[in-house]
Amino acid sequence: MAIAVLAEAVISQIAAGEVVERPTSVVKELLENALDAGAHSIRVEVEGGGRSLIRVSDDGAGICAAEVELAFARHATSKLRNAADLSQIMSLGFRGEALAAIAAVSRVRAITRARTEATGTQLRMDAGQLLAREGIGAPPGTVIAVENLFFNMPARLKFLKSETSERTHMARLLARYALAYPLVRFTLQFDGREVFQATGGGAAREALLAAYGAELARALLEIAPQTADGIEVRGFVSPPEQHRANRRELTFFVNGRWVQDQQLSSAVLQAYHTLLPGGRYPTVMLQLQVPPAEVDVNVHPAKAEVRFRAPDAIFRAVGRAVRSALLQQAPVAAGTPREWSNGPQPGLGDWSWKVWSGAGAQQPNAGAATNPVSLPAAQPEQTSALSALERIPLLRVLGQVGLAYVVAEGPDGLYLIDQHAAHERVLYEAFVAQAADAQVSAQALLQPATVEVPPAAASLLRQQLSTLNALGFDISEFGASAFLVRAIPTVLGPVDATRAVSSVIDELEEDESLLAQAGERRIIARVCKRASVKAGQALSPAEQQQLVRGLEACSAPRTCPHGRPTMIHLSVSVLERQFGRK
Are both 414 and 554 inside the same structural domain? yes
Please check whether residue 481 lies inside any domain of the structure. yes
Q: What is the pLDDT of residue 576?
A: 84
Q: What is the pLDDT of residue 88?
A: 65
Is the pTM higher than 0.85? The answer reads: no
If you average pLDDT over residues 495-512, what whole number do you get? 71
Please check whether residue 96 lies inside any domain of the structure. yes
Per-residue pLDDT band at 363 (split at 50, 70, 90): very low
Alpha-carbon span 129 to 178, nearest angstrom: 34
Are both 343 and 322 inside the same structural domain? no
If you average pLDDT over residues 1-27, what whole number do you get? 75
Alpha-carbon span 375 to 493, nearest angstrom: 8
How is residue 371 annotated by DSSP? S
Q: What is the pLDDT of residue 514?
A: 45
User: Which of the residue ranges 153-157, 218-222, 358-362 has the most confident prediction, judged by mean pLDDT?
Assistant: 218-222
Alpha-carbon span 491 to 484, nearest angstrom: 20
Please check whether residue 270 lies inside any domain of the structure. yes
Are both 362 and 282 inside the same structural domain? no
pLDDT 10s digits, 461-487: 887 788 788 888 899 988 777 889 998
Q: What is the pLDDT of residue 192?
A: 92
Answer whether residue 364 shows pLDDT above 70. Answer: no
Please check whether residue 211 lies inside any domain of the structure. no
User: Is residue 187 a contact partner of residue 200, using CB atoms and an 8 Å limit?
Assistant: no
Are both 554 and 421 inside the same structural domain? yes
The mean pLDDT of the chain is 80
Alpha-carbon span 487 to 509, nearest angstrom: 23
Per cent of the chain over pLDDT 90 is 36
pLDDT 10s digits, 305-344: 888 889 999 999 999 999 999 888 865 443 333 333 333 3
pLDDT 10s digits, 554-579: 888 888 887 788 999 888 888 888 88
Are both 160 and 53 inside the same structural domain? yes
Reported in sequence order, the residue ranges of 336-489 that DSSP labels E, i.e. its strands, are 338-342, 351-357, 360-362, 396-401, 405-410, 413-418, 442-452, 474-477, 482-489
Please check whether residue 212 lies inside any domain of the structure. no
User: Is residue 435 a contact partner of residue 404, using CB atoms and an 8 Å limit?
Assistant: no
Question: Between the CA atoms of 396, 401, 404 and 410, what dihedral angle is there, to the nearest 10 degrees?
Answer: -20
pLDDT 10s digits, 519-546: 667 777 777 877 788 888 889 999 999 9
Those residues whose C-beta lies under 8 Å from the C-beta of residue 203, and which sit 6 or more positions away, are 182
User: Is residue 484 a contact partner of residue 450, using CB atoms and an 8 Å limit?
Assistant: yes
Q: What is the pLDDT of residue 180?
A: 92
Are both 317 and 343 inside the same structural domain? no
Residue 328 φ/ψ, nearest 5 degrees = -90, -30
- The residue among 271, 303, 329 that closes a domain is 329
Per-residue pLDDT band at 40 (split at 50, 70, 90): very high
Q: What is the pLDDT of residue 387?
A: 45
Are both 516 and 560 inside the same structural domain? yes
Per-residue pLDDT band at 384 (split at 50, 70, 90): very low
Q: Exposed/middle/buried for 532, CB within 10 Å: 0-12, 13-18, 19+? A: buried
Q: State the CATH number of the domain containing residue 42.
A: 3.30.565.10
Per-residue pLDDT band at 13 (split at 50, 70, 90): low
Are both 342 and 419 inside the same structural domain? no
Per-residue pLDDT band at 445 (split at 50, 70, 90): confident
Determine the number of helices (DSSP H) and then strands (DSSP E) in the chain.
Answer: 18, 25
Are both 358 and 265 inside the same structural domain? no
Q: State the CATH number of the domain containing residue 306.
A: 3.30.230.10
Per-residue pLDDT band at 215 (split at 50, 70, 90): confident
Domain that holds residue 347: 335-367
Please check whether residue 291 lies inside any domain of the structure. yes
Are both 165 and 29 inside the same structural domain? yes
Overall domain count for the chain:
4
pLDDT 10s digits, 254-300: 999 898 888 899 999 999 987 887 778 999 999 999 998 888 876 76
User: Is residue 346 a contact partner of residue 539, using CB atoms and an 8 Å limit?
Assistant: no
Q: What is the pLDDT of residue 450?
A: 87
Please check whether residue 3 lies inside any domain of the structure. no
Are both 281 and 423 inside the same structural domain? no
- The Cβ of residue 305 has, within 10 Å, a number of other Cβ atoms equal to 14
Q: What is the pLDDT of residue 15?
A: 63
DSSP letters spanning 153-187? -HHHHHTPPPHHHHHHHHHHHHHHHHHH-TTSEEE
Per cent of the chain over pLDDT 70 is 81
Answer whether residue 150 shows pLDDT above 80. Answer: yes
Answer whether residue 356 shows pLDDT above 70. Answer: no
Are both 279 and 156 inside the same structural domain? no
If you average pLDDT over residues 33-49, what whole number do you get? 95
Q: State the CATH number of the domain containing residue 416.
A: 3.30.1370.100
Across-strand partners of 117? none
Q: What is the pLDDT of residue 354?
A: 27
Strand pairing class (141-147; 185-190): unpaired
If you average pLDDT over residues 101-130, what whole number do you get? 94
Q: What is the pLDDT of residue 353?
A: 28
User: Is residue 458 a contact partner of residue 480, using CB atoms and an 8 Å limit?
Assistant: yes
Query: In Å, how far are 65, 121, 226 from 117, measured between CA atoms?
Result: 8, 10, 43
Alpha-carbon span 581 to 574, nearest angstrom: 10
Alpha-carbon span 5 to 225, nearest angstrom: 53
User: Is residue 557 a contact partner of residue 392, using CB atoms and an 8 Å limit?
Assistant: yes
DSSP letters spanning 193-222? EEEEEE---S-HHHHHHHHH-HHHHHHPEE
Please check whether residue 557 lies inside any domain of the structure. yes
